[in-house]
Chains A and B, each alone.
Chain A
Amino acid sequence: MSCKRLFLEGHPVVSNVYFVVGAYAVSWIVLLAYLFRVQSLLRRSRAALAHARSAGGAT
């Protein structure tokens, strides 16, 4: 069914809440997964910096 037919000839209201819940769940999973990835990268880089500074102090 083309988009034109769907909107111009009238279509029964599509109300499938599973798709809405799925879309919001996907977006939250993606955002939180990226948040954890960035926080983990930040922790690792800070540990690398602390290591480098201790190596610099040792020399």
Chain B
Amino acid sequence: MTSAVANSPFEAPKSGRWLLFGWLAFAYLIAAQAISIAISPPDRDMGDLQKILYIHVPAAWNMGICYFLVAIYSMRYLWKRDERDDLKAAAAAEVGTLLNGLTLVLGMIWGRPTWGVWWAWDARLTSTLVMFLIFAGYLALRAFVDEPERRAQWSAAAGLFGAINYPIVYMSVRWWRTLHQVQSTPDTLDPSYALSLRLNAFAILFIAIFFIRRRYEAALTERVAEHELQAAVLGGSSRG
């Protein structure tokens, strides 16, 4: 082992079986979508447009899970000051923002033929957009701050602030009864719709887990490389 490796505070992660997990997650998504399209009949009011909800709703649910992880890892970072928690929070925030954007776009595609408009300044839509902008700001903040410790501290504060908004997004349809319908429950749904939603929710969850893990792996490997390069340069200059 070289001196540079010994100076690195953590080891580069190993991919192991994660690539296989990713393949299986995407295969499961294809199967879940095929099954849900095949078994669920057109809705009385929405017709086939209801099938858009099998991606829109799971994306929104899993966006919430990603932001919950951001809150957990941000708090852990502020408590333990372990840089790996910061990188995990950042990975979850990036995937959460991706799903947040997907939720918004799919909602617009569904809203145009159903509501007659691409966008309305409804409480749910607006709060989801605000959430998206907060986390886009979080990612921009990380891109602009170079010093790792300061970046991690500011990101943890921004991540907690952003994640706190999720309950507002979730409850917005009950607090302000505007255009977006309230949450459905298994009791208010046809069983074939509930099954389709669950299948797709797990598919998007597995893909989100895979994405977060791979993004974390990339970020941690990059940090290990930075540490080792720094140690190599310092080792070289002290000997010279």
Q: What is the CA–CA distance of A2 and B114 in the complex, to the nearest angstrom?
A: 10
Asked if A56 and B232 sit within 8 Å, CB to CB, the answer is: yes
Asked if B42 and A53 sit within 8 Å, CB to CB, the answer is: no
B5 at the interface (CB under 8 A from A): yes
Asked if A39 and B214 sit within 8 Å, CB to CB, the answer is: yes
Across-interface contacts of B110 in A (CB, < 8 A): 19, 23
Given A15-B47, A26-B106: A52 and B115 interface contact (C-beta under 8 Å): no
Asked if A49 and B52 sit within 8 Å, CB to CB, the answer is: no
B27 at the interface (CB under 8 A from A): no
Asked if B113 and A14 sit within 8 Å, CB to CB, the answer is: yes
Q: What is the CA–CA distance of A23 and B101 in the complex, to the nearest angstrom?
A: 13
Across-interface contacts of B65 in A (CB, < 8 A): none
Minimum CB–CB distance from A16 to chain B (whole Å) comes to 5
Minimum CB–CB distance from A41 to chain B (whole Å) comes to 4
Asked if A26 and B109 sit within 8 Å, CB to CB, the answer is: yes
B46 at the interface (CB under 8 A from A): yes
State the A residues within 8 Å of B (CB): 1-3, 6-7, 10-11, 13-17, 19-20, 22-24, 26-27, 30-31, 34-35, 38-39, 41-42, 44-46, 48-49, 51-53, 55-59
7 other contacts beyond A30-B101, A59-B233, with CB at 8 A cut-off?
A: A10-B45, A14-B114, A16-B49, A34-B98, A41-B222, A58-B232, A59-B232
